[in-house]
Amino acid sequence: MARWQINLIVLWLGNFLAMSGMTMIVPFLPLYIQEMGVTDPHAVSMWAGTIFAGNFITAFIFQPIWGGLADRYGRKVMLLRSGFGMAIVMILMGFATAPLHLLLLRVLNGVISGFIPAAVALMSANTPRERTGFAMGTLQSGQVAGTILGPLIGGLLAEWIGFRPIFYITGSLLLVASLLAWLLVKESFTPAKTAASGHKPSIFAGFKELSRIPQLPAIYSVTFVIQFSMLSSMPLMPLFVQELHHSAELLAFFAGLVGSITGFSNMVASPLLGRLSDRVGPVRVLMVALVGAGLAFIPQALVTNIWQLFAVRFLLGMFMGGLLPSVQTLIRLYTPNGMESRSYSFNASFLSLGNMLGPVVGGAVSGYIGIRGIFIGAAILLLANALWVYKSLYGKSRGDRGSAESASPQ
């Protein structure tokens, strides 16, 4: 087995555990807060929303900082820093006795996060160029699997063993994944060579330098719009399922299945579309995926029963499998050598921004246009995004580094 394949297996496991750890608390977070003594429903909702968002807010700020250090000292050391740090924080969450303790730990988790961007940067820099799309797609499937199974596992474990042991188990598993990365992941990185290249600017100077490459700001904006569009309807999905199902029986199960079925098709499609992007170019795959995802949102506004919603959400997940892996492949194509981690970290910040603003804006405008209107708005945003990709990326030359469209195997 080639070294890059071993790296991919270990980092897939790490990405899965990192994402499942971040999402595992979703089903029982309000109940955990109630267990701490908060009984007012409004206060529970406020604490739950603030605690969940705390991780993304600090991650948005600190991702570029860790990315700069990764380019200077190596991606593996940043990956291990984040993995071991999040494992410790996760275990400490099980000892929280007040919502404020949990909020501070979630904020700290966002500060030290960066496992996934470091894993992406390490894989992109240590994978044969002709296999980059496949590697990015497979790595993405690990994140999606964690997103799907995290809430499901968290809900089941909460019923079986209670809330606090879940944090101990998750932290311990993340610790094991970090140990495996320490022992098995190998990185081709020479600090002296990177330092000699002169790429050691500050965060703002680094972003300014990357912004001179016109395709990169375009890619970052694509990432933001993707996440904003996808998450704008998420807080309202259980209510929409309730409207379609017309019964309290199995309501929670169906509400969870709507998200899981999308994630499952995404997980299946990501490696396949990643392999396709190695053959035809990531820009083509990204454009088709954006158009397909945009069109898949339109029938969601027209469904009349829960089974139609399941079918359309499954189709949406298939197209979603080609979005972020193509973006990650394009970032590697356009980013100068020695700045990969910073570039991926800035992209992660834009992703976190979409994660934060999508649900907030969707919830705010839902009172005026309803969730069906939000589906149409998401479709318009994604189709406009496809047009933006066509105008800003399609067929653009990369000078002596080639074009994105010529990124197929030689």
Q: Higher pLDDT residue, 86 or 206?
A: 86
The confidence band for 405, taking pLDDT boundaries of 50, 70 and 90, is very low
The pLDDT of residue 256: 66
pLDDT tens sequence across 200-259: 556 677 778 888 888 888 899 889 998 888 888 876 776 788 788 776 666 656 776 777
Question: Average per-residue pLDDT in the chain?
Answer: 82
pLDDT at res. 384:
93
The Cα–Cα gap between 221 and 354 comes to 10
Pick the more confident residue, 72 or 23: 72
One-letter identity of residue 43: A
Residue type, position 264, single letter: F
What is the CATH superfamily name and number for domain 202-394? Answer: MFS general substrate transporter like domains (1.20.1250.20)
> Where does the chain hold its CATH 1.20.1250.20 domain(s)?
1-183, 202-394
Q: What is the pLDDT of residue 237?
A: 77
* Number of Cβ atoms within 10 Å of the Cβ of 164: 13
1-183 fold: Growth Hormone; Chain: A; (1.20.1250)
Which tokens sit at 219?
């890619």
**Would you state the pLDDT for residue 210?**
83
Which two structure tokens, joined as six digits, stand for 47? Answer: 């604490």
pLDDT at 307: 92
Element counts in the chain: helices (H) and strands (E): 17, 0
The model's pTM is 0.71
